[in-house]
Every structure is written in C-alpha cells, then in structure tokens.
C-alpha cells in the first residue's frame, strides 16, 4: 500500500500538529496511510524529553511544547518536514524498525545528491562529515572521548509519536536554511552539536526537488 502524499507548502506548526492528532484519533482499520510534506515558519519545539536549559536564547522565535519524542529543535523555511501517518500494526513492523526505515530513507535521499549520511548510535537523526560530506568511507571505531559526533554535522532530525500503533510527527531535512537559530539551542539536547544543510555543504537543490526525492524514498522504505 502506497502512502497518500500531500504537499502542504508552508504551514504553521501548531495547526498542523492538531490536524495530525485529529487524523490519528479518527483513524479506522481501513484508513489509508498518509505522508504530509511541508515547511514551517520559524519556531522552536520542545519534545517530551526537552529541558528548559537547552533553550539558550530563543529571542523573538516562538517556543512551543510538543508531544513528540526527543528534545528541542528548530523548524524554519528551507527545511523539508515530513510527517508519516502510518498504522504500524497493519504495516507489520515495530517502532525501532520504523525509525531505522526513516533514517534509511534520509540516507538514500542524500545519496541522490551525492552526499553520504551517517547514523550515530544513541542519537537519532542523520549526520554528515563536515570536512568531506561526499566521502563514501564508513565511520571507523568508537567516537573520541568528549566528541560523540567526531566532526559530524547534523543534517536531519527525527521526533516521532506513536498512538494506538499509529505514527505522527516525523522528520526534518535541512535543505537551504538560515542556520543561525540552531546556535541559540542545544540541538536535540547536545551542546555544541553543529547543524548543517545541503546548501552549506555545497549542494544546490531547491526545496521542491528535495521534497520530491524524500517523499519517494519514504514511500518506498516505509512500505509494509
């Protein structure tokens, strides 16, 4: 079963979350799975594990408490946000595999643009080498002490919610953003974690192009 994909464009965060919750609460066993693709105006969101001291200096950017997993992150123009709305029980896989499949879709999306994405154990999301984002070499050995991200920059974040076996919230891929707001937080709870986007690592791609590739990869990887 393919995902029913909707490209929402730029939409406010709060009403989009409310719509996801309403969709999930009203689902029936035969409700088709969906994928919503959008971008948001500037906003910080705090996940259920979020700590106030990770918000260093939000300034004039609003902060909203969210019921997704994870800690604080930033959404803004130039970022492709994807919300898969999937019945995991019907799909036949569990949450851990769901996260793995999302990360795999992100990695395969980056491959389309010549970029190698990496996983970091215990830190959901996708990372790239800051010194050579196009290198195909695997990360070797354990991370150096005090530097769990070993010269990596975070290019995609995850924050999901499961209700009655059904998913909402999702993931964000940084395409061509103003990255300054990330410096005002500890992204995903990690002090000093560098955030990058495709533009800053030398990939020129439009939001529409990135959204189309990510949508296709999610549709493929999240299939039952």
pLDDT of amino acid 62: 93
**For 65-100, what is each residue's pLDDT tens digit?**
888 878 889 999 999 999 999 999 999 999 999 999
The pLDDT of residue 146 is 62
The pLDDT of residue 137 is above 90? no
Using CB atoms within 10 A of its CB, is residue 124 exposed (0-12), middle (13-18) or buried (19+)?
A: buried
Residue 1 has what pLDDT? 61
Domain boundaries, the chain: 4-221
On the question of pLDDT at 211 being above 90, the answer is yes
Catalytically annotated residues: 188
Alpha helices in the chain (DSSP H): 13-25, 88-91, 95-112, 207-221
> What is the rounded average pLDDT for all residues in the chain?
92
Number of neighbours of residue 136 by Cβ within 10 angstroms: 8
**Percent above pLDDT 70 for the chain:** 95
Q: Write out pLDDT tens, residues 96-135.
A: 999 999 999 999 999 999 999 999 888 899 999 999 999 8
* CATH of segment(s) 4-221: 3.30.930.10
The confidence score (pLDDT) of residue 193 equals 84
pLDDT of residue 71: 82
* pLDDT score for 141: 62
Helix, strand or coil, per DSSP, at residue 171: strand
Q: Which pTM does this prediction carry?
A: 0.94
């Amino acid at each position: 079963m393919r995902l029913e994909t909707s490209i929402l464009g730029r939409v406010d965060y709060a009403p989009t979350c409310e719509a996801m919750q309403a969709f999930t609460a009203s689902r029936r066993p035969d409700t088709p799975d969906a994928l919503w693709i959008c971008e948001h105006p500037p906003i910080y969101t705090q996940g259920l594990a979020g700590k106030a001291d990770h918000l260093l200096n939000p300034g004039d950017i609003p902060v909203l408490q969210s019921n997704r997993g994870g800690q604080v992150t930033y959404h803004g123009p130039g970022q492709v946000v994807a919300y898969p709305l999937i019945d995991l029980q019907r799909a036949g896989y569990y949450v851990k595999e769901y996260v793995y499949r999302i990360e795999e879709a992100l990695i395969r999306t980056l491959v389309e643009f010549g970029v190698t994405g990496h996983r970091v154990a215990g830190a959901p999301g996708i990372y790239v080498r800051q010194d050579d984002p196009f290198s195909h070499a695997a990360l070797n050995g354990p991370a150096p002490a005090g530097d769990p991200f070993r010269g990596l920059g975070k290019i995609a974040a995850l924050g999901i919610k499961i209700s009655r076996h059904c998913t909402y919230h999702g993931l964000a891929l940084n395409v061509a953003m103003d990255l300054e707001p990330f410096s005002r937080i500890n992204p995903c709870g990690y002090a000093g974690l560098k955030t990058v986007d495709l533009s800053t690592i030398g990939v020129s791609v439009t939001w529409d192009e990135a959204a189309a590739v990510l949508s296709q990869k999610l549709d493929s990887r999240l299939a039952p």
